[in-house]
Structure 1
């Protein structure tokens, strides 16, 4: 059993991860972390998310021993969280998005002391979609075409474009101005890369998923990542390891 400390436990993804863990016999979330200034601090986790009382409360610092950290908190106060991670010295699966380059570098530098897995998007299918887009661009290198990205998330998502969309931009070597962002609804997200030729031919490569997808996948990552040696890991690292 892998005991997990969940940062961002009162958020929508926190709720999804907690729910998914109930159906997974290999993991157990035993620390539910929120900001020390959060209105949800000390509230009952089960009652807050599911209307059922539990033995767990939201805390600002872990009170029980655990094996690894999953961070789905927002980018706010990331510098303070990095200092907490330095103190805890536990393997970290970092899923927050919207960080600037300097903030992300602070997170990556933690891998000098303990394992760090960077996963702005935890879906393996999303990673495969990115690889398909990269391969398509290489094949079309000698053709005249345009390239654009459409992405959509729930109305409360803070970063525009999404971290995943910016990762796609980097992988495809295009600027963020090529991204069209939609913020509406409450749950399902999507990313779509469109290749268009000047003679009317189009290819759409699309991934979509609801919160439960990313929650189930991050727990799968946890099982793979648990007890890995000190290093910096990405979704591509996992895929290459699983499919050697």
Structure 2
């Protein structure tokens, strides 16, 4: 498979190494100041750039009929317009706030737990996410995905809020600590006990493997897909 890497930071380099080990070919890669190869030669693009660059990268791929796997977060205010462009161009697109197989299993566990906890009003729920100090957006896209799933199962929660507790809001605490790859914890607490589930990433390899798996899935397909489609969850 011929892959374009849009974004050549730590994640892009990890994806490159794993993709080559798996027998794929990197035909194009672009960073903030340089580009190598021809985007038009790619059979699929993997986008891990910056919030500022993601939308233009995705739209360019749609125009070239190149399927896009996007893991960049922080640009979702433009999500609807990107989806519309994908449909207009008859493109192919997978966006995920997190491509790790373990995290996507965690998403399913979180949804199931939220359904179980919804009738028990004595429990309050909160989310804590911890990432490395270089991460630009807060809360993480993964935390937002977790929060949205909990809110969808609740008849009391209407939104999430960062740090401060507001009426009808799910509190997300975002911490930045050097060299933390990503830890997410959901906690339900009452006066008598506490229930928590946690996913802790040990390296970027899990994210990179999931992105490559998604790219293999998306190649030669048309339409909008999710990691739930990729993993048949």
Kept in 1, the 8 Å contact 2:101–2:206? The answer is no
Q: How does 1:179-218 map to 2 (within 5 A)?
A: 179-199=172-192, 201-209=193-201, 210-218=203-211
Cα distance in 2, alignment partners of residues 124 and 83 from structure 1: 26
Q: How does 1:53-132 map to 2 (within 5 A)?
A: 58-59=35-36, 62=38, 65-101=41-77, 103-112=78-87, 113-132=90-109
Aligned to 1:47: none
1:108 Cα deviation after fit: 1.9
Aligned to 1:33: 30
Unaligned runs of 5+ in 1: 42-57
Unaligned runs of 5+ in 2: 152-158, 163-170
1:160 and 2:157 aligned: no
Cα distance in 1, alignment partners of residues 190 and 42 from structure 2: 52
1:79 Cα deviation after fit: 4.1
Q: Secondary structure in 2 aligned to 1:182? A: strand
Aligned to 2:156: none
Q: Under a length normalisation based on structure 2, what TM-score does the superposition of the two structures give?
A: 0.85
Which of these residues, 12, 15, 21, is aligned with residue 14 of structure 1? 12
Aligned to 2:166: none
RMSD: 1.8
Q: Under a length normalisation based on structure 1, what TM-score does the superposition of the two structures give?
A: 0.81
